[in-house]
Structure 1
């Protein structure tokens, strides 16, 4: 693997830092967001050993002899507001594992007074035709929210109506003083393949997983666009299952089969294109077949890691079965609407073997500092 990987910040401000002035204070709401495709939650709840992530000085060491701890991860990263997990692989009826995850992120006995507590929200598959593998232990996302942040800012946590595979969770926040309404998506995007996609209700084959991937691009973009029109700032975070450009793939960006190129083009247009309708070119027959005669309206979103590190080669996915770093891609991303992009103060990929843990992905991170005006009674 070539190029430098930016290290995660060691210290960040807590949720509010006030600068005292007469009667009023300028403050920051700091939203630290970590996202990680864990490739199965099992190792995080099967044992209680908490040595994983315990020492940043040993982050380059192999994790083969340690067990991961969600609580230690939160502690070692200064108690972030949000931790998004993808591909948790929990059956919808598995309440025992869900309770175990909640215990794993909750305040522990013996911890100092005031140590943050967390609440875990799950979106799990209920699609009987497309989420049957491994006894239903496929897909699924978990949004872990620091409780004080949830109590003050979160209006609701919801699923989306157009997906039953357990891939999308949305945190909608309230507008508080100068902090805008936000919709923060935890996403595990579809991986495009030639395997069949079946209607979630009838089981009828409706095309391939490539077709479903393109449909999900359109559905998610429409969902985000609706919220933008309602005055929300939007963050999309998770496993996008697309590497955007040559700098995001090592040793090369995937360009075959051709459908992967078309998937990438569609994603770029919908999420990063101009917010005005973009007419398709006359010779773009493949994309016309996907989009019909309607132009694609872009969201103009910002890839915060690439904005802050425009030329850095850093990767989030390292397939098993190959030496670490010999084949990898940046497929995990944090995107935001333009109104929030200036508030993103840091973005990192925790791309060492130690950060990798039991997954074939490593965590990613972004921090948003949002100014607000605070009066003395605003707690």
Structure 2
């Protein structure tokens, strides 16, 4: 008699706790920042009358092909995170222009689903004594931020208490994953001249625009230092109104009158120099003038273009009324705190005919790459 066959053992069900969760991954995050002194926002939101008379058959010249559309600029540069504009020349009470800019950067009818949207933040002149030129349409900055980044990272956008000329806007972000907490400045620094600077409250002359430039250096450096003490990484981007070294000017670095040399020294001392007098890694350019080591007490910020391109001749300002390239300076910069410099993967100056636009400045750009935010694997 054949023995009974035992049934196969029951399979033990794996408990959910025993099933390993898929590993978490990290999504990379790239912050692309463009900055441009546009020398007036008007051409970017109002269609030129010449465009109504262009022939449909005549080939366009390189200047005709340059589009001043803000939306086109954002699209052609792959929808950057930020576009900082300086010298927008808009009055504080001009709500119509602000609305027009917001429309110009917003998602347009007919664009594909998921095309990025943007929000525009203005900082405009409120000083009644130093911003009266052109009916108050002087200075002013606009910070254009991609909406998806703003909603996830931006905590607030603010002005600074010590400036009423509409020169400074600050975007403060929160830390998310490996993306650090940042304070990102859109700046239009003072141009040093012998013109009078007046007290913003009472209109009394308090010195020259050179004096005001040095005061602004001190005020901005002190605010940046405070933010660093609060564990912010700091980026300063915009028109600095300083050419740092002979490499940054063609045909010559401006050294007359002497006050321009003093302004340059002060900028280097406060922002670029390190307490130990060491140059940032990869930046082999010495200070442009002879600053005594005892005065090297700066923030140690890194000029990202010069850090990545230590010997490249490239310029961002081309005065009008002269042949293009015959006289030019690199006065527009993006600087960051030293620990953030390692995340800077690219920096460029966009001086091609297609990028120049209607301004006497050309755009500049920098990219910062971070590993980003942990994303749990699919279970």
1:29 maps to what in 2? Answer: 29
Q: List aligned pairs for 1:160-239, cutoff 5 A.
A: 160-239=160-239
Q: Distance in 2 between matches of 1:48 and 1:76?
A: 20
2:354 maps to what in 1? Answer: 354
Q: Does 1:63 align with 2:67?
A: no
CA drift at 1:370: 1.2
Q: Distance in 1 between matches of 2:103 and 2:212?
A: 35
Q: Distance in 2 between matches of 1:48 and 1:325?
A: 26
- CA change 1:64–1:174 in 2 (3 A) is same
Q: Does 1:129 align with 2:133?
A: no
CA drift at 1:123: 0.2
Q: Does 1:314 align with 2:319?
A: no
Q: Does 1:365 align with 2:365?
A: yes
2:374 maps to what in 1? Answer: 374
CA drift at 1:297: 3.2
- CA change 1:303–1:264 in 2 (3 A) is same
2:47 maps to what in 1? Answer: 47
Q: Secondary structure at the match of 1:220?
A: helix
Contact 1:196 1:207 in 2 (8 A): yes
- CA change 1:345–1:66 in 2 (3 A) is closer
- CA change 1:48–1:70 in 2 (3 A) is farther
Give aligned pairs, total: 337
Residue deviations 1:106-147 (CA, integer Å, cap 9, x gap)? 000000000000000000000000000000000000000000
Q: Distance in 1 between matches of 2:148 and 2:250?
A: 40
Contact 1:61 1:354 in 2 (8 A): no
CA drift at 1:355: 1.3
Q: Secondary structure at the match of 2:28?
A: strand
Q: Distance in 2 between matches of 1:135 and 1:64?
A: 30
CA drift at 1:377: 8.2
- Structure 2 unmatched runs, 5+: 1-20, 52-59, 279-290
Contact 2:66 2:354 in 1 (8 A): no
Contact 1:61 1:353 in 2 (8 A): no
Q: Secondary structure at the match of 1:297?
A: coil
Q: List aligned pairs for 1:92-107, cutoff 5 A.
A: 92-107=92-107
Q: Secondary structure at the match of 2:369?
A: strand
2:325 maps to what in 1? Answer: 325
Q: Distance in 2 between matches of 1:177 and 1:226?
A: 23
Residue deviations 1:287-344 (CA, integer Å, cap 9, x gap)? 99xxxxx967310000000011000000000000000000000000000001110100
Residue deviations 1:164-203 (CA, integer Å, cap 9, x gap)? 0000000000011222100000000000000000000010
Runs of 4+ more than 3 Å apart: 64-67, 275-278, 294-297
- CA change 1:227–1:351 in 2 (3 A) is same
CA drift at 1:66: 5.1
Q: Distance in 2 between matches of 1:114 and 1:347?
A: 27
1:16 maps to what in 2? Answer: none
Q: Distance in 1 between matches of 2:206 and 2:189?
A: 18
Residue deviations 1:211-258 (CA, integer Å, cap 9, x gap)? 000000000000100000000000000000000000000011111111
CA drift at 1:275: 3.9
Contact 2:125 2:139 in 1 (8 A): yes
> RMSD of the TM alignment (CA)?
2.3
CA drift at 1:376: 1.9
1:115 maps to what in 2? Answer: 115
Q: Secondary structure at the match of 1:221?
A: helix
Q: Distance in 1 between matches of 2:106 and 2:77?
A: 15
Structure showing greater Rg: 2
Q: Secondary structure at the match of 2:62?
A: coil
2:4 maps to what in 1? Answer: none
